[in-house]
Structure 1
Amino acid sequence: MSKTRTAASETEGARDDTARSPSLWLAVLSLTAFAALIALGVWQVERRAWKLALIDRVEQRVHAPAQPIPSPGVWSAVTAANDEYRHVSLTGRFLHDRETLVQAVTEEGPGYWVLTPLQRGDGTQVLVNRGFVPSERRDASARRDGNPDGPVEITGLLRMSEPKGGFLRNNVPQHNRWYSRDVAAIAAARGLHEAAPFFVDADAGSQSGGGPIGGLTVVRFPNNHLIYALTWFALALMLAGWLFVTFGGGLFRRQRIVHEPAGGPDASARRTGSDAGTIVEQT
């Protein structure tokens, strides 16, 4: 009876130790998660460096003296990375009868951007975002005094086309409803066959009295990459601590060897086998 109870006790203890010990698959998943968190943190650090370089580049473009817009021969090579927000200048005559109103919300409130083609001397056209008008001035007749008829010189920021539409709202050219400054679609709707693939946000100083309010371009680039990086690294650190406690804690536990004489006072309670004279205890 005593031997049977002892064997059952040893089997139960072995089962408990197995249940308590972390499994291999859990270790592999934890290490994979740790590596992924570190990779995400490093990626955010790299993104932050890229964003800071972008902000510095754009700031230099915005505040640089105005230069002539790219010539038609290189329009196909104009890209956001190389050209957007360049301070440019151009001359021509506005085609006010082909203006397009694009819904907008600005610091002045809700209303419209007024995009008007500028006919240039070489026969090409460039869409110019002349600025913002509130809803009560959307009709061109309400701002006729601000629409110059003769040649004008415009300075502003080169912007890339905004195809298809705005957030959850698609442009509807056939109904003259516009939610984004889609240059190709506006040019097609207004019969502009030599239009540039970009548009220009006019400076405030380019507008005449009574015209749209220019100079409202918002140049802002969210830069939260440092916070994201610190978050990923903090999660990796917490996971590393959990891994250490769960898998590595036993490496630093001291063992105390207890030698008991064969007839010690606790022998009946602690001796279960022929080698029970030496007992190992965790401390």
Structure 2
Amino acid sequence: MTRNIRWPLTIIVTLFALFGLWGFASLGIWQVHRLHWKLDLIQRVDERVHADPVPAPGPGDWPDVTTESAEYLRVTLKGSFLNQDELQVYTPSDYGPSYWVMTPLKRDDGTLVWINRGLVPEKLRDPATRTPPEGEVTVTGLLRISQSKGWLFSQKDDPAAGKWYRRDIAAMSAAKGLDNAAPYFVDEDAVAGPEWPKGGQTVIAFRNSHLSYAITWFAMVGLVLICYGIFLFSELRRRD
């Protein structure tokens, strides 16, 4: 009795197995890289948000302001709010449909920094329903990088209609005709005074499921190997 291996089928199954091994292994390795990136991010953010505030970067430092070098850095700055140029950026929240109150702050050197003064519910979106701060103020908060790109299914900003869905500093400055604005904004800490806007709402807890995803993909690699082994074993046991 001789073995009767079905070579065309074996070649096809082998190719599919190799493709599956490559695909699942690549996804697993990518998740491992993402895991290390997320752990570094969590550590970096934790160190920055609990550090003493430093002066917000000035114009000479703007080219060096990046996500890696400065985001979530605790900063402080002084200036006067340009309340007439306030914009509201939509965001869902525990209070229902809500808005980030974004107001440019003019510093003594003439530069502007957009400040996210905090969250307001739908009923307080209109600036007329709130009392804005006047005169020189000191702002302390977390430096954030301009959000020029949205999520896959997020809505696009519509400046003409006054509808904003992301904190895009360049677009907001252009809509208000403002020049010399910093390429970042600051999430202001919670401050004493009126309840709204509610500051200190920056999300600094990051979901980290990359390890479980990596295990899943590497488990799929093992499953492909087992299935392919069973197939080869069955083929080698075939008889005329």
TM-score between both structures, scaled by the size of structure 2: 0.88
Report the Cα distance in structure 2 between the residues aligned to 1:23 and 1:233, rounded to whole angstroms.
24
SS of match in other structure, 1:44: helix
The match for 2:183 is 197
Residue 100 of structure 1 corresponds to which residue in structure 2? Answer: 87
Among 112, 134, 156, the alignment partner of 2:121 is 134
Structure 2: 5+ residue runs without aligned partners?
none
Residues 200, 247 of structure 1: alpha-carbon distance in 2 compared, 3 angstrom cutoff = same
For the Cα contact (< 8 Å) 1:148–1:208, is it kept in 2? no
CA distance in 2, matches of 1:165, 1:48: 23
1:91 Cα deviation after fit: 0.5
CA 1:236–1:89: 2 relative to 1, 3 Å: same
Equivalent residue for 2:35, pick from 45, 48, 57: 48
Question: 1:195, CA displacement in angstroms?
Answer: 0.8
Alignment of 1:149 with 2:134, yes or no, is: yes
Q: Distance in 1 between matches of 2:90 and 2:227?
A: 53
What stretches of structure 1 of length at least 5 have no aligned partner?
Answer: 1-12, 254-281
Larger radius of gyration: 1
- SS of the equivalent of 1:171 reads coil
Paired AA for residue 100 in structure 1? L
The answer to which structure, 1 or 2, has the higher relative contact order (CA under 8 A, 6+ apart) is 2
Q: Which residue of 2 aligns with 1:90?
A: 77
Greater than 3 Å deviation, 4+ residue runs: 18-22, 164-168, 248-251
| Bigger mean CA offset, 16-25 vs 38-47 | 16-25
Give the Cα–Cα distance (whole angstroms) in 2 for the partners of residues 187 and 225 of structure 1: 37
Among candidates 38, 41, 52, match of residue 65 of structure 1: 52
1:186 to 172, 178, 181: 172
Whether 2:134 is the aligned partner of 1:161: answer no
SS at match of 1:177: coil
Contact kept? 2:4, 2:235, Cα under 8 Å: no
CA contact (8 A) 1:75 1:197 kept: yes
Q: Which residue of 1 aligns with 2:157?
A: 171
Shift of 1:22: 5.2
Equivalences for 1:242-253 in 2 at 5 Å? 242-248=227-233
Q: CA deviation at 1:118?
A: 0.6
Q: Match of 2:16?
A: 29
The answer as to whether partners of 1:87 and 1:157 remain within 8 angstroms in 2 is yes
Secondary structure, aligned partner of 1:192: coil
TM-aligned CA deviation for residue 18 of structure 1: 4.4
For 2:205, the equivalent position in structure 1 comes to: 220
Deviations 1:133-185 (CA, angstroms, capped at 9, x unpaired)? 122222222212xx221111000111111226674321111222212111111
Post-superposition shift, 1:37?
2.4
